[in-house]
Structure 1
Amino acid sequence: MIHVSADQNLYKIEELIPPQTELNLYNPSDGIPDLNQADALLLRTVTHLTADTFPNPPKNLRFIGTGSSGTDHLDNEYLEEKGITLASANGCNARAVAEYVMTSILLWREKEQPDESFGSVGVIGVGKAGSAVVELLTNFGIDCVQYDPPRAEREPDFSSVSLQEVLNCDILTFHVPLNRKGNYSTFHWLDEEKLKGRSYKLIINAARGGVINELALMKYYVEGDIQDYILDVWEDEPDFNTEVAKHAFIATPHIAGYSEQAKVNATKLVCDQLAKFFNLASGPVHYEIPERAEDLAHIQYDLTKLITRLHPILGYDKALRDLSGRPDKKVLFRNLRNEWPYRFEYPSLKIRKELLEEFPELKKLGVKATD
């Protein structure tokens, strides 16, 4: 029997954990659990494991899986030196993040420049999430360029545009990991030096807090060089900068990748890797998410009203702004992430056929017609 300690907030963990395991759930708010009996630890981004926070890993602990695409909360080199195999849910939320970006751009255009084109979009970081963003932008016929020098270095078939080409775009959207060292450091990648002398319609960060220098971003927004910005991630998360949030077109509490499908994918990916690592005969656990028909009243809709019925982005935005000035905003920020129900991704939603015909943008997002 394999003993597994898992974050209680890993979605559907009890349904998706392989049956040949003994599962112990822990509350991450209480810190790192007692792992003296654990063979494996499954966690989320709220748990940081480094030489300082986790100085003496028990010898029996052989596997750590994170239910997230990124691993910047883990000191990978340190943990691997301790003989621990690491696994992540890389790509689990790619579609959800892409939908967040496309939803944001559509809402921004509807409000700020309904009669103008989107302009060109520079996608910075073209891994699984960035690639999903490119796919959706292409569905909408939006001109976009792809910037990812490390991927171009790894993959001869991938071509990255130059730094100047991507910085010349009208809109920038970020999908890179947070790296503080190495040849491709992304910490404060977008800083005052890159912003100076340029103008942008919109800047979106749905990657990691710290990829953009938030104070420089706000400065150039106030000075008029940046028309709008949208932030889902924050430098000192969960202690987000309320002044930066106040000026944002949309500000959300790190939920771009939060969907029913993404959360199931995340837990399933780490559980499948756990099963493979420990040679569990049961193999992957199957879990199916049904489609959902949205019962939309027969009222006069515009695109903004429809989108915000299907995607809770503006609800999160309002909730985050309501935290400004609250002494317990860090706790409430986490609560927004943990307690709101997950949305369904667009391809799993169905609405009336006449609405799809009236608003073809929804069809491009993947929404289907009810039977």
Structure 2
Amino acid sequence: MKIHINDPLDEDALRKLKNDLPNAEITSEYFDKEVLKEKIKDYDVLIVRSATKVTKDMLENVDKLKIIGRAGMGLDNIDVETAKAKGIKVLNTPGQNSLSVAELVLGMVLDIYRHITRGTVGLREGKWEKKQLKGLELSKKTFGIIGFGYVGKNLANLLKGFETETLIYDLVKLTEEEIKEYKVKQVSLEELLKNSDVISLHVPKNDKTYHMISDEQFEEMKEKVVIINAARGGVLDEKALLKYLKNGKVLGAGLDVFEEEPPTSEFYKELLSMPNVVATPHIGASTDEAQARVGINIVDRVVEEVKKLN
């Protein structure tokens, strides 16, 4: 049994994998697409995170590969359909890094409301913008969460301490128990857009969600709204966002994901230069705690499937 880990895996998780499968040949090294395309033919199991793209052309000529493990929630870096057609089991770790993403969202909102990044940059430049940087309190604001999966639920829990009115838009109807547990109100997308002071996106990227927030939706929003995207690049129309940042309708935006990653084009230089944009390089799940949980979880799932093969 040959197992290859192409992206960094938590050290405790790697030790656990070796202990649980002592007879397996386990390698851990990053190969770029062209190298991995050749080497993947020799593996029984491939474990990746988000950096490695497991594409259709990479999978078309594999016969030995039985399992692909994604140490993370999303599967948009893996051609799942081709894998399934080849009889390859695709595993992921939903929910294990959700709290880290929710905390980043909250941090971005507080940064925008209290001008933390702008104040820091100003001080470094010798400015004392005390009067210009009057902020807002998050407490008792209306907070809209679009998509109520693992991250949305963690975010709702964190917001309880701020006594926000938390609105939820999700295609799945919440139970009365969930509404009481998370202290939320489930509404239509239109109602959420119309009433929210802050809107945070937590949906996967697919044909139905691509640019689900664009000009039409921005027009429906309140004045001085804050919008956060720590889900997937593409669910938010970034060109529309820039337009409404410029005209003042959007007070600020927090971005951890982008349609183009890394965001290096001239358009992104303009977007990221806006003083009311807070941005991070897709680090929502990048905490020690989340990576430890993700690593252990994917190891447990891979070991379970390997034992089934035997």
Cα deviation for residue 192 of structure 1 reads 1.1
Local SS of the residue matching 2:90: strand
The 5 A counterparts of 1:1-371 are: 2-12=1-11, 13-19=13-19, 20=21, 21-29=24-32, 31=34, 33=36, 34-51=39-56, 53-111=57-115, 113-114=135-136, 117=139, 119-149=141-171, 151-152=172-173, 160-168=186-194, 169-180=196-207, 185-198=208-221, 199-240=223-264, 241-247=268-274, 248-279=276-307
CA contact (8 A) 2:59 2:82 kept: no
Structure 1 residues 129-168: Cα deviation after superposition (integer angstroms, max 9, x where no partner): 111001001122111111111x339x79767421112112
1:108 to 1:278, Cα distance in 2 relative to 1, 3 A: same
1:62 to 1:233, Cα distance in 2 relative to 1, 3 A: same
Local SS of the residue matching 1:17: helix
Structure 1 residues 111-134: Cα deviation after superposition (integer angstroms, max 9, x where no partner): 352467552110111111111001
CA contact (8 A) 1:28 1:46 kept: no
1:115 to 1:139, Cα distance in 2 relative to 1, 3 A: closer
Corresponding position of 1:286: none
Root-mean-square deviation (CA, aligned residues, Å) is: 2.3
Distance (Å, rounded) in 2 between the aligned partners of 1:29 and 1:175 = 30
1:209 to 1:261, Cα distance in 2 relative to 1, 3 A: same
- What amino acid does structure 1 have at the position aligned with 2:101? V
Cα deviation for residue 66 of structure 1 reads 0.6
- What amino acid does structure 2 have at the position aligned with 1:40? V
1:194 to 1:11, Cα distance in 2 relative to 1, 3 A: same
- What amino acid does structure 1 have at the position aligned with 2:17? I
Local SS of the residue matching 2:263: coil
Q: Which deviates further from its counterpart, 207-216 or 161-170?
A: 161-170
Structure 1 residues 305-348: Cα deviation after superposition (integer angstroms, max 9, x where no partner): xxxxxxxxxxxxxxxxxxxxxxxxxxxxxxxxxxxxxxxxxxxx
Distance (Å, rounded) in 2 between the aligned partners of 1:42 and 1:6 = 5
- What amino acid does structure 2 have at the position aligned with 1:188? H
- What amino acid does structure 1 have at the position aligned with 2:8? N
1:61 to 1:256, Cα distance in 2 relative to 1, 3 A: same
Query: Which of the two has greater helix per residue?
Result: 2
**Structure 1 vs Structure 2: percent identity of aligned residues?**
28
Cα deviation for residue 15 of structure 1 reads 2.2
Cα deviation for residue 47 of structure 1 reads 1.9
Structure 1 residues 40-78: Cα deviation after superposition (integer angstroms, max 9, x where no partner): 000122222232x32424211110011111111122122
Structure 2: any 5+ residue segments left out of the alignment?
116-133, 180-185
Corresponding position of 1:346: none
Cα deviation for residue 256 of structure 1 reads 1.6
1:57 to 1:88, Cα distance in 2 relative to 1, 3 A: farther
Structure 1 residues 55-106: Cα deviation after superposition (integer angstroms, max 9, x where no partner): 4242111100111111111221221111000101111111111111112222
1:212 to 1:141, Cα distance in 2 relative to 1, 3 A: same
TM-score with structure 2 setting the length:
0.81
CA contact (8 A) 2:203 2:231 kept: yes
Distance (Å, rounded) in 1 between the aligned partners of 2:109 and 2:138 = 13
Q: Which deviates further from its counterpart, 13-22 or 227-236?
A: 13-22
Ranked by relative contact order (alpha carbons within 8 Å, sequence separation 6 or more), the top structure is 2
CA contact (8 A) 2:193 2:220 kept: no
CA contact (8 A) 1:7 1:28 kept: yes
- What amino acid does structure 2 have at the position aligned with 1:139? G
- What amino acid does structure 2 have at the position aligned with 1:10? L
Local SS of the residue matching 1:250: strand
Q: Which deviates further from its counterpart, 121-130 or 102-111?
A: 102-111
Cα deviation for residue 227 of structure 1 reads 0.8
Task: State how many pairs are aligned.
Answer: 273
1:176 to 1:278, Cα distance in 2 relative to 1, 3 A: same
CA contact (8 A) 2:18 2:26 kept: no
Q: Which deviates further from its counterpart, 95-104 or 213-222?
A: 95-104
Cα deviation for residue 26 of structure 1 reads 2.6
Distance (Å, rounded) in 2 between the aligned partners of 1:73 and 1:118 = 38
